[in-house]
Structure 1
Amino acid sequence: MRLRTFLLVGALGVTLAGCSLSSGGDSGGGQGERKVVLVTHDSFAMGDDVLKKFTDDTGITIDVRRVGDAGALTNQLVLTKGSPIGDVAYGVDTTFASRALDEDVFAEYAPDAPLPAGPADHAIDDTNRLTAVDIGDVCLNIDPAALAAKGVPEPTGYADLAKPEYKDLLVVEDPATSSPGLAYLLGTIAQLGDGWQDHWRALKANGVQVVSGWEEAYTQEFSGSSGKGPRPIVVSYASSPSAELDEAGNPRTKAVLGTCFRQVEYAGVLKGAAHADDAEKVMDFLLSDEFQSQVPEQMYVYPARAGVTLPEAWQKAAPLPTAAAELPSEQIQQNRERWIGEWRAIVRG
């Protein structure tokens, strides 16, 4: 899971994951209550004051239902598309967006049409069924002090990791079980093309460690985190260094920007939503300055809307990468399982 998973704060009016996922209808509310069910991933968070202001302004309460990671969320939406489990879904990402669109899960709606800069740049197609809300670039993160202590230079790209001096220094997440692990695999495919398999063979020979998820990789194995693990290179997020500042406010870790893959998270009104009109107002809210300005501090990802000021620590330690690799969502959908199978045969075989 992401760095943000264990930094989340509670949100006013949020229904926790243990609640029923029955439907978007009113459940236990008073007469005339307006409620929109927002189905999302486990890492969703937003400040009490921001959600309360939306309720005060509109009369609509946002009822958050968390259903796992992006893959689990997409699966739930597909399996229940005939009787949707909510009104709005937030968190279907680049790696699963085409599947959700192919399965006709979302209705057409464009917040603030025409879309503002940022979300418009990340539109998957022209149907306005999914709208970009945030960006979470996945990159190598390094612990410069630990590398210096070993007399090893900081890597600048994928090729460095296969060199003998980097033996047993890298930990990655399994792309079959981890969203950042999959994004990192896709980054190697996007940048290395047909050479991606040879690259992973070289990494295996050079002692790459593979773990099931982000939390184990970052908090237990990575030397630059609070866990003080043994490995100074990890797959994480471009934003992660903003949470690893020293007492003077300087970052203790770095993202290797030449290894970033752009992972965009989308939201949309679910087709057949019980409260479609109010769901559209929630979509407008997700693109508003009020919500977008809180995205970095609340969820440790970048706002999709252009021109939103990043927190001071982010400006210093985690500026948004300008040249992250990308792959078309349809290409990912068509090849995801095959690529994961080939990766496992190489690295796990």
Structure 2
Amino acid sequence: MRYPILAAGFCAVASMAAAQTPVLTVYTYDSFTADWGPGPAVEKAFEKTCGCDLKFVSAGDGAALLSRLKLEGKRTKADVVLGLDTSLTADARATGLFAPHGALPKLDLPIKWTDPTFVPFDWGWFAMVYDKTKVKDVPHSFKELADSKLKVVIEDPRSSTPGLGLLLWVKDAYGDKAADIWKGLADNITTVTPGWSEAYGLFLKGEADMVLSYTTSPAYHLIAEKDDTKAAAEFKEGHYMEVEVAAKVATTKHPKLADEFLKFVTSDAFQSIIPETNWMYPAVTPKAGLPKGFDTLITPAKTLLYPADEVPAIRKKALEEWRTALSQ
């Protein structure tokens, strides 16, 4: 009877160990947790050093992520939220659900970063991506796109950060004339998806000529698939920039572990994962530099970006213009 007793003892020890291992819950967006996204590699790298169980919870796209957190409020199980961007940080801060971060290392962003709550982990420019073998007359502005017969798939600004980024892009570029641009684009837009993954999937299936994505998206096809047929159209009016961020939830039961994770986010171990999994520019350039292929991407001549605290008021007007145009 000795062996069954020993087996039971080992099981009891294992159960106690599991119970003592802290679980850090990180809410993020769908593509981050995908098998091909950064999530699996980030989880493996962080768990090597934290003595914890890092648990990612997928909550749709970025805007849907904030909506879920608002709904859960102080009852949320999230310790960290990863995947909001500068179009949402003012709203996120207003909830009172986030705590300040500590000191940050030197960041490699095109803008100065002074936000005391949100930690940047990557950035990029929004762009209309197309297949060079199918689209020969490439539009180089929203006006040219509206005048074309090209079909475009975009993301919903109410649930998706790229979708919201497009609203702000058009508004920043055209101001009071943004409503007219949307009226012109209405016939070009074939589908509005909840998030980026759905939109890009439809584009790859050939259901649209162009898709709202990023200037860095062609790097995926070039590096991972050895396919140089995808490109981002450079627009004369400039391109709107996105900075994606992470933040500690104020109600976390593991504040020290959450702080440790936020420090990890700007470390080389995390940042080196970003270029070839999230296909964005890292917030801190990895020691090994950017992968070969990123040097072939377009660099917009003009960068557009509203200050984060101005976005809520601008978004309300822009969303109204968008909804009116697409409903007619």
- What TM-score do the two structures reach when normalised by structure 2? 0.81
* Alignment match, 2:105: 115
Task: Find the residue that maps to 1:52 and give its secondary structure.
Answer: helix
Match of 1:54 among 34, 37, 46: 46
Aligned-pair distance for 1:307?
Answer: 5.6
Measured in 2, the distance between the counterparts of 1:280 and 1:248 equals: 37
Counterpart check, 1:284 vs 2:280: no
Structure 2 counterparts to residues 194-233 of structure 1, below 5 A: 194-204=176-186, 207-213=188-194, 214-220=196-202, 222=203, 225=204, 227-229=205-207, 231-233=208-210
- In structure 2, the partner of 1:130 is 118
- Higher fraction of helix: 2
CA contact (8 A) 2:86 2:242 kept: yes
Aligned residue among 202, 211, 222 for 1:234: 211
CA contact (8 A) 1:134 1:266 kept: yes
Report the equivalent of 1:70.
62
Alignment of 1:302-341 (within 5 A): 302-306=281-285, 309-316=289-296, 318=297, 321=300, 323-341=302-320
Task: Say whether residues 1:182 and 2:155 are aligned partners.
Answer: no
Residue correspondence of structure 1 range 14-93 to structure 2 within 5 A? 30-45=18-33, 46=38, 48=40, 50-93=42-85
In structure 2, the residue corresponding to 1:117 is in which secondary structure?
coil
Report the RMSD for the aligned CA atoms in angstroms: 2.9
Larger radius of gyration: 2
1:97 equivalenced with 2:81 (yes/no): no
CA distance in 1, matches of 2:43, 2:17: 18
Q: Which moved more, 1:322-331 or 1:170-179?
A: 170-179
CA 1:54 to 1:217, structure 2 compared with 1: closer, same or farther past 3 Å?
closer
Deviation at 1:276, TM superposition (A): 0.4
Q: Distance in 2 between matches of 1:247 and 1:311?
A: 11
Secondary structure at the aligned position of 1:236 is classed as strand
1:201, distance to aligned residue in structure 2 (A): 1.8
CA distance in 2, matches of 1:138, 1:343: 18
For the Cα contact (< 8 Å) 1:38–1:63, is it kept in 2? Answer: yes
1:142 equivalenced with 2:125 (yes/no): no
Following superposition, the deviation at residue 74 of structure 1 comes to 1.0
Call closer, same or farther: CA 1:64–1:249 in 2, change over 3 Å. closer
TM-superposed deviation, 1:215: 4.4
Deviations 1:11-64 (A, max 9, x none): xxxxxxxxxxxxxxxx99724323322122222243656533432333233122
CA deviation vs aligned residue, 1:237-281 (integer Å, no higher than 9, x gap): 212212334999452121123353212211111112101011111
Q: Which amino acid aligns with 2:229?
A: R
Q: CA deviation at 1:177?
A: 4.6
> Aligned letter for 1:313?
G
Specify every segment of 5 or more residues in structure 1 that has no aligned partner in the other structure, as ranges.
1-26
Superposed displacement of residue 167, structure 1? 2.1
The Cα offsets for residues 47-94 of structure 1, whole Å up to 9 and x where unpaired, read as 656533432333233122222221222122233332342221111122
SS of the residue aligned with 1:298? coil
Q: How far off is 1:283 after superposition?
A: 0.6
One-letter amino acid of the structure 2 residue matched with residue 242 of structure 1: A
Summarize the Cα distance change of 1:139–1:248 in structure 2 as closer, same or farther, 3 Å threshold. closer
Structure 1 residues 52 and 120 mapped into 2: Cα distance closer, same or farther (>3 Å)?
A: same
Relative distance call for 1:141 and 1:49 in structure 2 (3 A) is closer
Deviation at 1:139, TM superposition (A): 0.9
After superposition, give the CA deviation of every residue in 1:278-327 in whole Å (9 maximum; x if it has no partner). Answer: 111111111101111101222222211246622223333x3665643211
Question: Percent identity between the aligned chains?
Answer: 28
CA contact (8 A) 2:29 2:61 kept: yes
Per-residue CA shift, 1:192-251, capped at 9, x if unaligned?
Answer: 1112111122223x544343344454333x3xx3x133x433322212212334999452
